[in-house]
């Protein structure tokens, strides 16, 4: 009830929630009370949390931030939702997001921009901006997000919280509305690495309903939290620590590195020679996959339908024309173009080859170091509207995060310091299945 009261007070300003499921939350809380009284609860029993509105929730609206799904109530729960529910959480509601998770500022949402709790004239980052703002403003204890190209880590950085993108396939995508299926991955947003580890314990694991979920043993993600960092080898990518990086951000990272060295870590430079190609490769692969995934929204099976269609073609055209926003349409056009006969080899195939080289760079680097450390974002949260006029400016938000998705490896953002009253995150990246190690480093640092 305390969280619901806080949401009622602050959400009109922050716009972090699209839907608040008050009645259901109170019923779940009552059940959790009974379990705890009977001594049968676990560490997440009764913890009030929120889901990004990309996860299907049975009986509760799931919009994906789009007019296209303004009336969509799913008949089933996403696996992530189901697993967290089995762990006893209370779902307060569904958080705002960029439309179909396309964006880095949460300004493409049909439900309006989210405001950053640290400065309401600024964006919370995106696309999981509602989740990050809700955690930062104590409108929930923890929240789910998704990260196709930085959408957990960048909002975590802008809102001063912790966010983890797991190894591709570690968490089931079943019931998570698809954007770019080979990149999409769900993960936790929370106040600490310890909370993220507890969420991962509930969320991770193979799922027969998602053929890309990995049949890999799920360890206890809290198991390594207390380990010493003595002997940890940290790599600093020379492509991230350049003269282009804001000196104040650079300084905050250098201070953080000193703390880690004090805890026993050693630092060396690593080379990611294809890093500069990650934004162009991503903005071919992701729209290509999106254009295919979004073809299901046809105005027939679910979601928005235009008024009085003249015939089937008119129904498709107007339902999609009226249901999707500008950024989504831009991605569909770019993706359709990149996949079309005659252009496929020049764009899509080329991007896939670059993707392979990016993955190879990380494999090479992880022969010498255990984790890679760098900035999550080039700067702190920017002002609402500041980057809206040119899509490429917005795409450049992702320069530090996106290679991690292309390589399928885990990455996280944790608060590194403050700059002019705004939080700034640092990113930790590890080889596949190193989530527990990343959480260990973050926990020791925090
Ligand atoms: N900024 C990226 C994009 O717009 C982030 C997407 C994501 O991770 N969902 O595609």
Digit-coded pLDDT (tens) for 192-205: 999 999 999 999 99
Is residue 227 in some structural domain? Answer: no
With the most atoms of ligand 1 within 8 angstroms of its CB, the residue from 149, 287, 290 to mutate is: 149
Distances (CA, A) of 328 to 321, 338, 344: 10, 15, 21
192 and 68 belong to one structural domain: yes
* DSSP secondary structure letters along 127-181: SSHHHHHHHHTTSSSEEEEE-SSSTTHHHHHHHT-EEEEPPTTSB--TTB--SST
Burial of 54 from C-beta contacts in 10 A (0-12 / 13-18 / 19+): buried
**Between the CA atoms of 121, 138, 148 and 221, what dihedral angle is there, to the nearest 10 degrees?**
150
Is residue 209 in some structural domain? Answer: no
Instruction: Determine the atom of ligand 1 nearest the C-alpha atom of 150.
Output: 8
Q: State both tokens at 343.
A: 């252009």
> What DSSP character marks residue 426?
E
Instruction: Determine the atom of ligand 1 nearest the C-alpha atom of 102.
Output: 4
Average pLDDT over residues 67-80: 97
Cα separation, 343 vs 355, in Å, equals: 18
The set of residues, in sequence order, having a beta carbon less than 8 Å from that of 29 and lying 6+ positions away, is: 1, 46, 48, 90
Count of structural domains within the chain: 3
**How far apart are the CA of 339 and the centre of ligand 1, in A?**
20
Instruction: Determine the atom of ligand 1 nearest the C-alpha atom of 183.
Output: 8
Cα separation, 187 vs 206, in Å, equals: 15
**How far apart are the CA of 125 and the centre of ligand 1, in A?**
10
Distances (CA, A) of 230 to 261, 363, 413: 9, 23, 21
Q: Is the pLDDT of residue 377 over 90?
A: yes
Average pLDDT over residues 247-252: 95
What b-and-e string marks burial along 390-402, b requiring 16 or more CB atoms within 10 Å of the CB? Answer: ebeebbebbbbbb
12 and 75 belong to one structural domain: yes
Is residue 214 in some structural domain? Answer: no
272 and 285 belong to one structural domain: no
Instruction: Determine the atom of ligand 1 nearest the C-alpha atom of 151.
Output: 8
Q: Which helix (H) or strand (E) holds 18?
A: strand 17-20
**How far apart are the CA of 241 and the centre of ligand 1, in A?**
23
Q: pLDDT at position 244, please?
A: 82
CATH at 194 = 3.90.1300.10
**How far apart are the CA of 149 and the centre of ligand 1, in A?**
5
**Cβ pair 18, 65 in contact under 8 A:** yes
CATH at 238 = 3.40.190
Give residue 343's pLDDT band: very low, low, confident or very high (50, 70, 90): very high
Name the β-bridge partners of 136: none
* Phi–psi pair at 357, nearest 5 degrees: -65, -40
Q: Which helix (H) or strand (E) holds 5?
A: helix 2-14
296 and 441 belong to one structural domain: no
**How far apart are the CA of 218 and the centre of ligand 1, in A?**
27
313 and 435 belong to one structural domain: no
Nearest to 158 by CA among 174, 135, 184: 135
pLDDT per residue over 412-446, tens digit each? Answer: 999 999 999 999 999 999 999 999 999 999 999 99
Instruction: Determine the atom of ligand 1 nearest the C-alpha atom of 179.
Output: 9
pLDDT per residue over 86-114, tens digit each? Answer: 999 999 999 999 999 999 999 999 999 99
Handedness of CA 329, 394, 406, 80 (dihedral sign): negative
Q: State both tokens at 242.
A: 């350049």
421 and 431 belong to one structural domain: yes
Is residue 305 in some structural domain? Answer: yes
Catalytic residues: 52, 127, 151
Which residue has its alpha carbon closest to ligand 1 atom 10?
A: 102
Cα separation, 209 vs 61, in Å, equals: 22
The set of residues, in sequence order, having a beta carbon less than 8 Å from that of 299 and lying 6+ positions away, is: 305, 306, 309, 315, 316, 318, 319, 320, 323
Is residue 390 in some structural domain? Answer: yes
**How far apart are the CA of 396 and the centre of ligand 1, in A?**
11
Q: State both tokens at 329.
A: 């349409």
Cα separation, 376 vs 359, in Å, equals: 19
Count CB neighbours of 279 within 10 A.
Answer: 18
Give residue 46's pLDDT band: very low, low, confident or very high (50, 70, 90): very high
Secondary structure of residue 122 in the 3-state scheme: strand
326 and 397 belong to one structural domain: no
**How far apart are the CA of 412 and the centre of ligand 1, in A?**
15
Question: Using a 6 Å CB cutoff, which residues line ligand 1?
Answer: 101-104, 127, 146-151, 179, 286, 398
With the most atoms of ligand 1 within 8 angstroms of its CB, the residue from 55, 126, 351, 401 to mutate is: 126
Q: Is the pLDDT of residue 360 over 90?
A: yes
What's the pTM? Answer: 0.98
pLDDT per residue over 256-287, tens digit each? Answer: 999 999 999 999 999 999 999 999 999 999 99
Cα separation, 389 vs 275, in Å, equals: 26
Give residue 302's pLDDT band: very low, low, confident or very high (50, 70, 90): confident
Q: Is the pLDDT of residue 36 over 90?
A: yes
**Cβ pair 82, 64 in contact under 8 A:** no
Q: Between β-strands 266-270 and 186-190, what pairing exists: parallel, antiparallel or unpaired?
A: unpaired
Is residue 217 in some structural domain? Answer: no
Instruction: Determine the atom of ligand 1 nearest the C-alpha atom of 152.
Output: 8
Q: Is the pLDDT of residue 241 over 90?
A: yes
* Last-in-domain residue among 203, 219, 247: 203
Average pLDDT over residues 330-346: 94
**Cβ pair 45, 79 in contact under 8 A:** no
The alpha-helical segments, DSSP class H, found in 180-311 are 193-203, 247-262, 278-293
**How far apart are the CA of 129 and the centre of ligand 1, in A?**
11
255 and 297 belong to one structural domain: no
Is residue 211 in some structural domain? Answer: no
240 and 340 belong to one structural domain: no
262 and 360 belong to one structural domain: yes
Q: pLDDT at position 146, please?
A: 98
Distance from CA of residue 268 to its chain's centroid?
28
* Last-in-domain residue among 164, 183, 203: 203
- Percentages helix, strand, coil for the chain (3-state, rounded to 5) are 40, 15, 45
Average pLDDT over residues 213-238: 96
Q: Is the pLDDT of residue 390 over 90?
A: no
Q: Is the pLDDT of residue 29 over 90?
A: yes
Q: pLDDT at position 389, please?
A: 87
* Last-in-domain residue among 320, 346, 372: 346
316 and 384 belong to one structural domain: no
Average pLDDT over residues 13-38: 97
Please state, rounded to an integer, the average pLDDT across all residues of the chain: 97
Question: What domain range includes position 260?
Answer: 233-277+356-445
Q: pLDDT at position 158, please?
A: 98
With a pLDDT cut of 70, the percent of the chain lying above it is: 100
Burial of 83 from C-beta contacts in 10 A (0-12 / 13-18 / 19+): buried
Is residue 125 in some structural domain? Answer: yes
Cα separation, 385 vs 133, in Å, equals: 18
pLDDT per residue over 107-147, tens digit each? Answer: 999 999 999 999 999 999 999 999 999 999 999 999 999 99
168 and 178 belong to one structural domain: yes
Q: pLDDT at position 108, please?
A: 97
Q: pLDDT at position 292, please?
A: 97
Distance from CA of residue 412 to its chain's centroid?
10
């Amino acid at each position: 009830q305390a969280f619901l009261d806080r949401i009622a007070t602050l959400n009109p300003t922050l716009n972090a929630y699209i839907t608040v499921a008050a009645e259901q939350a109170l019923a779940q809380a009552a059940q959790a009370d009974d379990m705890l009284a009977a001594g049968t609860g676990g560490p997440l029993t009764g913890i009030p949390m929120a889901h990004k509105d990309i996860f299907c929730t049975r009986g509760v609206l799931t919009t994906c931030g789009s007019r296209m799904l303004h009336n969509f109530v799913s008949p089933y729960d996403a696996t992530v939702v189901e697993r967290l529910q089995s762990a006893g959480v209370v779902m307060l509601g569904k958080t705002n997001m960029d439309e179909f998770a396309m964006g880095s500022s949460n300004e493409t949402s049909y439900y309006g921009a989210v405001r950053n709790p640290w400065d309401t004239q600024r964006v919370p980052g995106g696309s999981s901006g509602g989740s990050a703002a809700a955690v930062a403003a104590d409108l929930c204890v923890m929240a789910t997000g998704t990260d196709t190209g930085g959408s957990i880590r960048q909002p975590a950085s802008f809102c001063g919280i912790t966010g983890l993108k797991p190894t591709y396939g570690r968490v089931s995508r079943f019931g998570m509305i698809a954007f770019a299926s080979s990149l999409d991955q769900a993960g936790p947003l929370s106040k600490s690495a310890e909370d993220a580890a507890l969420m991962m314990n509930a969320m991770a694991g193979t799922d027969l309903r998602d053929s890309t979920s990995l049949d890999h043993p799920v360890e206890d993600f809290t198991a390594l939290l207390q380990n010493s960092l003595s002997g940890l080898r940290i790599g600093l990518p020379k492509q991230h620590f350049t003269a282009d990086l804001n000196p104040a951000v650079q300084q905050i990272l250098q201070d953080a590195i000193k703390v880690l060295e004090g805890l026993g870590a050693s630092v060396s430079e690593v080379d990611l020679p294809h890093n500069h190609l990650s934004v162009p490769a991503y903005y071919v692969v992701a729209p290509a996959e999106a254009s295919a995934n979004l073809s299901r929204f046809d105005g027939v099976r679910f979601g928005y339908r235009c008024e009085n269609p003249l015939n089937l073609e008119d129904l498709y055209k107007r339902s999609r024309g009226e249901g999707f926003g500008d950024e989504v349409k831009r991605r569909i056009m770019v993706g359709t173009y990149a996949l079309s006969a005659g252009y496929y080899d020049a764009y899509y195939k080329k991007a896939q080859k670059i993707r392979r080289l990016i993955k190879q760079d990380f494999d090479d680097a992880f022969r010498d170091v255990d984790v890679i450390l760098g900035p999550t974002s080039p700067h702190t949260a920017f002002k609402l509207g500041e980057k809206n006029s040119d899509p490429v400016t917005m795409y450049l938000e992702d320069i530090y995060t996106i290679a991690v998705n292309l390589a399928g490896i885990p990455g996280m953002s944790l608060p590194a310091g403050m700059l002019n009253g705004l939080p700034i995150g640092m990113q930790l990246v590890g080889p596949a299945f190193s989530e527990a190690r990343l959480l260990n480093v973050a926990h020791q640092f925090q």
